[in-house]
Structures are given as C-alpha cells and as structure tokens.
Amino acid sequence: MKMTLAMIVGTRDFFPAEPVLAARRSVLKLLAGMGVEVVILEEDATPMGAVETWEQAKQCAALFRAHRDRIDGILVVLPVFGPERAIADTIKLSELQVPILVQAYPDDPARLDVAHRGDAFCGKISVCNNLYQYGFPFSLTGMHTVDPGDESFLGDLRRFLGVCRVVRGLRRARIGAVGARPGIFNTVRYSEKLLQASGITVTTVDLSELFGAAGRLADSDPRGAERVEGIRAYIPAPQVPAAALTRMARLAIALDDWIAANELDAVAFQCWTSIQQNYGVNACTVLSMLSEKLVPAACEVDVTGVVAMYALQLASGRPSALVDWNNNYGAEPDRCILFHCGNWARSFVPEAHMANAEILATVLGQEATWGSVSGMAPAGPLTFARISTDDRRGCIKAYVGEGSFTADPLDTFGCRAVVEVPALQRLLRYICRNGFEHHAAVSASHVAAILAEAFEVYLGWELYYHNGEV
C-alpha cells in the first residue's frame, strides 16, 4: 500500500540555516528509500522550505489541503527549536485529521556554541504542548531526540506508518454482516451506532439473498467450474463430495459479488445452523479464502471481531484470523489453546485439509457440514486483539497484546494452535471481569504497539495493552 506523509520542517531565524536544509534533505531521502511519498513545501517556497511564520503556515496548510485525500499522516521534523505556534497553526488550517509524528534532532554536547546548537530537545516539548492545547493527538519517537540515520528512527517510522494505515482504514471501514447472529449466541451482540461514531459502517444482508443468488447461477456459467478448481487448488479436499464443492463455489461467487457491489473491507458471516440446514455446507473454506486474499472474514456474525481482524491486517499487511480462547494447555499457566472449527486463512495452517465440522456434525449430520478447514498453526510470533462495543457504558473498548505460537503437540481437529502469552492468567481475568467476548483476532506478527497507539491515541477507544504501554 502506497503511503503519503505531509511533512513540516520547523525553523527559527536565530538558528543557523544549514542544519535545517540538511535535515530536510536527509529525511526526504530516507522516506523516498522507504517508498513513502511526501507532500512538502518546495525549498524556494519559503526559506529552506520550512515553516516559521503565520504566512508560511497558511501557505503550507493550503498545500496540504490540496492533497488531503492522499495524505495518511503528518511528520513534524525539528532540526532546531522550531516555531511551536506556526506548526500547530499549519495543522489546524490544513483541516487534516490524521496521525502526527514529532521528531527532534539531538545536539552534540561538544558543539553547543551559537553556531551549532539547535535546542530541538526543548523545542519538541513546546511543540507538543501546543499540539495538546489545540486538541491534536500525536505520536512520539522512542527516544526524545533521534537522528534520522539512527536505526531506532526507522522503527519509529515503520510503526507510525502502521498507525496511519490502521487509523485511515478503520475511520472509513465498510463491514458486511451476513445473516442474523446465531439465536442462542448473545456473545456477538454489538452496537452499529457506536461503530458508526468511529467511522465504521455496517452493511447487512440476509442469508436467503445469498442462497438465492447462488441458486440462480446457471450451470453453464464458467465461474462455477473455475471456482471449484480454485477451491481444490487452495486446500486438499480428497474426501469432500463434488456436490458440496459445487455448493461452496456458488456461495463464494454470490458472496464475492455482494462484497464487490457494496465495496466492503471485511465480512462477518452466520456460519451455523441455517447454512447447514438450508444450503448443505459449512462456509469455513469460503471464509478462509477471503481472509487469505486480505478480505477478513469472521464466523458467527462477529462484527466487532472482524473489525479487530481488519485492524490487525492493516497493521501487519498479513492475513488475520478469528479464534476462540478455547482450552487450557495442561497445567501451563501461560499457555492455552486457540481454536475454531475452522475458517482460518491458509497462512495460519499451511498443512491444512478440508474436512467436515465435527462438532456441528453431531447434531446436523456429516453430509451437511463439509467445508471446515483443519490444520495446526506452526510456531511463530503472535499478536492478539479484541474490539467490543460496550452499550452499558456507551463506548468502544479494546485489548491488545503479544505472545507466540508454540510448537507444543496438540491432537484434535479444526483450526488450532497452542500459544504462550506472558501473564496469561491476568489477561484472562481482565477479559472476564470486563465483559469481553471469548473471541479474539490474531496475527502471526508483532504489531500490538501499532494497534495500541491507533486505538487509544487517535480513535479514542478505551484500551488495555497487556504487558505494554502506549
């Protein structure tokens, strides 16, 4: 995903010009190397292309407004103390509502004479004070002052770009809710209105409409046979009847058409029991394939769960999955089993095969439950996240944290994993005491800090960051 930052370089006329110009060119070169486009005043538009005065703030803000549709975030670069008010005025006049990262250059203690000192250490505090006064949320570098050539600043930038992706994506997210939640499953109730207040739109469709669209697909339509072959190429299905694969293919086409018509970013699907009783398959493989191609798909109409999946995908650039915090792992207090029956993307279960949903088959019959994905997640990094609308308190709340998928043995069916989370028992107590669902979204990456910053600082959600801090 191509990213664009608006960049403000601050200066003061009583500081030397040379380091300001050098800083501007250095940061622009760094961003170009990362593939990031930059909207910035030309060098000759103002002295060194920097901002110091009210007139320059207006000029810079007008440039940003002209490119507002493509700007993902604002980078404030302070080679020297900087003009605290002019920077805040620029952002105010630009009317941008995007994440802001404030960077300040370090001084050399051996060169603090008038010709070489910059005092950006102090100036950063003043700029942040003004941003706070103006009501602008902002992000900080890991070190208070940092040279752009330092590896830690590259990490700051990568994390900030992730925050920008999450904030931009969620503020305009379009989520599909397919069918009614399972009748006996209060867990996944949620508030569309609270989500809408954060910019997240929910579009609904009845299962009957998809079943009808799938049923009207002509036998001569080449998409049907092509999709069957696509399913076979995606996951081994040696035991699955051909008729079941055909029904999955038709459902996948109908669902794809609805997603495209409504320009949806993610979907939450009613996966039991109507589809088995009235259509004759499980939707797991269809949902798995969507998640793998970066359209997160959750089961059990867990809309806020799929929002968390989408957030993880935005942060990491990789598929995400919805899981149950499902079982203890022996007497290990910091390990547990994640499970679903299962619709995880193949990225999580590379050795998977298609099976029938063994739990649902006990009451619905094997012939109606083909389509689940069965496989074990390999060892690797883990980020977990949950978003929930708290109707009793009128807010959106979330938790995030990190751990690892382990290589511990596990003999069962469905999509499953053994994970290790430091202080897991404390996390589980927090989940229970605060009314969170037993579902969580996971990513095979470490991106909790990105989500924490996006959720709490920019979206204003109530956050618990397990074993971390924003």
Q: Is the dihedral of CA 51, 57, 60, 64 positive or negative?
A: positive
- Which distant-in-sequence residues (6+ apart) come within 8 Å of 94 by Cβ? 6, 60, 61, 64, 65, 68, 74
Write the burial class of residue 49 (CB in 10 Å: 0-12 exposed, 13-18 middle, 19+ buried).
Answer: buried
- Which distant-in-sequence residues (6+ apart) come within 8 Å of 446 by Cβ? 381, 382, 383, 402
Supply the pLDDT for residue 182. Answer: 86
CB 172 within 8 A of CB 467: no
Supply the pLDDT for residue 15. Answer: 61
Write the burial class of residue 440 (CB in 10 Å: 0-12 exposed, 13-18 middle, 19+ buried).
Answer: buried
Q: Cα–Cα distances in Å, from 465 out to 335, 385, 468?
A: 18, 9, 5
Supply the pLDDT for residue 270. Answer: 96
Rounded to 10°, the helix 151-171/303-316 angle is 150
CB 295 within 8 A of CB 287: no
The position carrying tokens 């389509």 is 371
Encoded tokens for 147: 């040279």
Encoded tokens for 19: 């380091």
Is the whole-model pTM more than 0.85? yes
CA–CA gap between residue 139 and residue 148 (Å, rounded): 16
CA–CA gap between residue 51 and residue 87 (Å, rounded): 7
CA–CA gap between residue 371 and residue 431 (Å, rounded): 31
| Successive 10-residue mean pLDDT values, the chain, 470 residues | 94 73 94 98 93 96 98 96 92 98 91 73 96 98 96 97 98 97 90 98 97 94 96 96 97 98 98 94 97 97 98 98 98 98 95 92 90 97 98 97 98 97 98 98 98 98 88
List the domains of the chain with CATH numbers: 4-171 (3.40.50.10940), 174-465 (3.40.275.10)
What single-letter DSSP state applies at residue 186?
Answer: G
Write the burial class of residue 313 (CB in 10 Å: 0-12 exposed, 13-18 middle, 19+ buried).
Answer: buried
Encoded tokens for 25: 């060119």
Q: Is 322 helix (H, G, I), strand (E, B) or coil?
A: strand
The position carrying tokens 């022996």 is 330
Question: What pairs with residue 6 in β-bridges?
Answer: 39, 74
CB 157 within 8 A of CB 165: no
Supply the pLDDT for residue 278. Answer: 95
Report the run of H or E that residue 5 belongs to, with start and end: strand 4-9
Distance of CA 121 to the CA centre of its chain: 32
CA–CA gap between residue 160 and residue 178 (Å, rounded): 33
CA–CA gap between residue 60 and residue 87 (Å, rounded): 10
CA–CA gap between residue 81 and residue 60 (Å, rounded): 19
CA–CA gap between residue 94 and residue 115 (Å, rounded): 33
Amino acid identity for residue 61 in this structure = A
Supply the pLDDT for residue 470. Answer: 55
Encoded tokens for 133: 């006064």
